[in-house]
Amino acid sequence: MTGPSGFSGALARWVQSVLGPIQVVRDASHPRTNSQVWEVASRAGRHFVKVAPDPILYTRETRAYREAVPQLGHAGAPAMRDSSAELLALILTAVDGEPLKCETSLARRRDAHRQAGQLLRRFHDVLPSRRAQSEAGAVIEATVTGLEKHIAAAGNHLSVTEADLLRRIVSALPAIGPLPCGLRHGDFWERNIIWTGRRCALIDYERSTPGPLVADFVKLATTVWPDLPELGTSLLAGYGRPLSDIEQQALVSFAAADAASALAYGPLHGDERVTARGRRTVERLTQEGRWR
């Protein structure tokens, strides 16, 4: 076996016990300290080996792969070949394609968003709303109570006026009303939509938890849809229904909370893309009527 130094010892022995002799093709980790992902090749084909940052994320992802991901179909997502709770590791089949953010054709992006909406709807429908509803209150409470921590961490990246605006918008979330609930993907945006040019698949389920489904639309609604609203139209057409009025209201509140989180995380970790997402959302929210 050849490859990066991080892929060795017990992890390498376990992977080879499942796949046979392997070669590490590349380190596929995201540019953050707790991301550990490798692409490997063997006689069994291409796979990805992923080590979760902690037991909670490992449990979430393995649950999603066992209970929800199979509903997306063979081409709609990777399959979990094996997992190790001791190593917090998963072996996943590879899907063809590149992240959708690399697609330059607007027509193909529209088709990809429509397909992604179909996949997301299948994922959301796995867990009946009544089972997820019990956890929705905790999600909303955590969103509201966690806001102050994010505002404090954002420091001078938020003005006093902007921070007060986010507080007002997020504080309205508990009173909006019952929201459709289910198993959320948790990190649904173009980075995690893999696209061949004709077909898309969803990856990365470590943040999958039960709760209000509308929260899954926040990242696209704050990054892609402002400039290309037709992509939002395509995605919701694939999803099979528009967002209700109360979901639209909740989307704004979740987006405001996400902006504070992004401005807390992005500057601290040198992530310009996350920082830009937070800043742009704040600027949109301060322009009356712009969000609507």
| Chain segment 131-164, per-residue pLDDT in tens | 677 788 889 999 999 999 999 999 999 999 999 9
Task: Please state the rounded mean pLDDT for residues 214-239.
Answer: 97
Query: What is the DSSP pairing of strand 22-27 with strand 36-42?
Result: antiparallel
Per-residue model confidence (pLDDT) at position 1: 46
DSSP 8: -
pLDDT higher than 80, residue 2:
no
Give domain 9-93's CATH number out of 3.30.200, 3.30.60, 3.40.50, 3.10.20. Answer: 3.30.200
**CB-based burial label for 143 (10 Å; 0-12, 13-18, 19+):** buried
Cβ neighbours, 10 Å, residue 280: 15
Per-residue pLDDT reduced to its tens digit, 236-292: 999 999 999 999 999 999 999 999 999 999 999 899 999 999 999 999 999 864 555
* Predicted local distance difference test score (pLDDT) of residue 141: 94
Six token digits for residue 233: 């139209």
Confidence grade of residue 29 (pLDDT, cut at 50, 70, 90)? confident
Structure tokens at 152: 């404090």
The answer to whether 14 and 22 are in contact (CB under 8 A) is no
Main-chain dihedrals φ then ψ at residue 121, nearest 5 degrees:
-65, -40
Please, which pLDDT band fits residue 30 given cuts at 50, 70 and 90? confident
Torsion angle, alpha carbons of 246, 249, 252, 255, to 10? -20
pLDDT at 134: 78
Mean pLDDT (the chain, rounded) = 93
Which is more confidently placed, 289 or 17?
17
What the block records as the tokens of 70 is 């199979």
Inter-residue contact 247 to 181 (CB < 8 Å): no
d(CA 125, CA 116): 14
Contact 198, 77 (CB under 8 A): no
DSSP tag of 176: S
d(Cα 205, Cα 254) in Å, to the nearest integer? Answer: 19
Mean pLDDT over 71-77 rounds to 93
CATH number, domain 98-286: 3.90.1200.10
| pTM given for the model | 0.92
Phi, psi of 181 (to 5 degrees): -125, 160
CA distance 143 to 136: 11
Helix (H, G, I), strand (E, B) or coil at 38: strand
Spell out the domain ranges in the chain.
9-93, 98-286
